[in-house]
Amino acid sequence: NMVDGLGITGYEGIFLKTCEITLSVLRSHRETLMSVLETFIHDPLVEWTKSHKSSGVEVDNPHAQ
């Protein structure tokens, strides 16, 4: 169980406090984070649908293509 690995306090202790701090930092730097992430949406150089056949990679599993 994942909760057992978090120690005696489980998800109520250090994990929860760290998540709250992380979320607070992300919210306070929202504009900076969004400007970095928007480049992944608008970048024309990224080819997400590149064919495995043209890259020379062989895939044994037909469901993975």
What does the pLDDT read at residue 11? Answer: 78
Distance CA 24, CA 12 (A): 17
Distance CA 4, CA 1 (A): 6
Q: Tell whether the model's pLDDT for residue 59 goes beyond 70.
A: no
Q: Which one is predicted more confidently, 26 or 45?
A: 26
Cα→Cα distances 15→4, 19, 23, 27, Å: 12, 6, 12, 18
Per-residue model confidence as pLDDT tens digits over 3-43: 887 788 877 888 889 999 999 999 999 999 999 888 878 77
- At which residue do the structure tokens 């993975």 appear? 64
Report the predicted TM-score, pTM, of the whole model to 2 decimal places.
0.52
Alpha helices in 1-65 (DSSP H): 14-28, 30-42, 52-55
What does the pLDDT read at residue 61? Answer: 65
What does the pLDDT read at residue 51? Answer: 52
